[in-house]
Chains A and B, each alone.
Chain A
Amino acid sequence: GAGVSQSPSNKVTEKGKDVELRCDPISGHTALYWYRQSLGQGLEFLIYFQGNSAPDKSGLPSDRFSAERTGGSVSTLTIQRTQQEDSAVYLCASSLWGPSLAGGPNEQFFGPGTRLTVL
């Protein structure tokens, strides 16, 4: 079946512009995560959605970052007034269940990522 898809695959923008990144999770997956990965760095957690619960936004680096998940499926990560330090690969992942269910199927399936370059 279809995996996690993300669009666009590459985005080049100018400093100060807003960008929207899209994630289509695997159908039926209740949990959705956003991460970013900078060159030579590990994955940095940004935000987590679980079903209809309020999202865990604790990883968002500033109020320029926001995300929403409509209808429990597609998610959009928005970065306002982009800065050069926002340049990174933004990865979305989904899992059947959330990670708090011990022993549950919480394997994360990652999308191919969006490579964001802020000039």
Chain B
Amino acid sequence: RKEVEQDPGPFNVPEGATVAFNCTYSNSASQSFFWYRQDCRKEPKLLMSVYSSGNEDGRFTAQLNRASQYISLLIRDSKLSDSATYLCVVLGLRGNQFYFGTGTSLTVIP
């Protein structure tokens, strides 16, 4: 089983829509979680860390559900510029390895 699994999508949503992505992780003892954004043919960039209590950054909200071992990313009021691939990242138990999901593709349509 993969350490991190994501629905690859693609998600095609109209501008202004709300969209949510989920990501599951296999190791219940994992402690650190992140969402990265990767634009086409570009390098990944940190979007936000995911904290146990959930956290919000503008239109973006990240949640952690330890019981079900998933993290989520909610994007409200989608903009065209949100079109990208969103990567779920989990820090492995050994503390050295970040496990990346394969990414969820989002296209926001005018």
Give the interface of A toward B (CB within 8 A). 33, 35, 40-45, 48, 50, 56, 58-59, 91, 98-100, 102, 106-108, 110-113
Contacts and interface: CB of A to CB of B under 8 A. Distances in A.
B44 interface: yes
Contacts, number: 53
B13 to A, nearest CB: 21
B44 A110 contact: yes
Interface string B86-107: 0100010011111111110000
B interface bracket (residues with beta carbon within 8 Å of A):
20 to 34
B43 interface: yes
Contacts of A45: 97-100
Nearest to B45: A110
Interface in B5-43: 8, 31-32, 42-43
Given A40-B102, A43-B100, A100-B95, A112 B43 contact: yes
Max chain B Cβ within 10 angstroms of own Cβ: one of A40, A41, A43, A100: A43
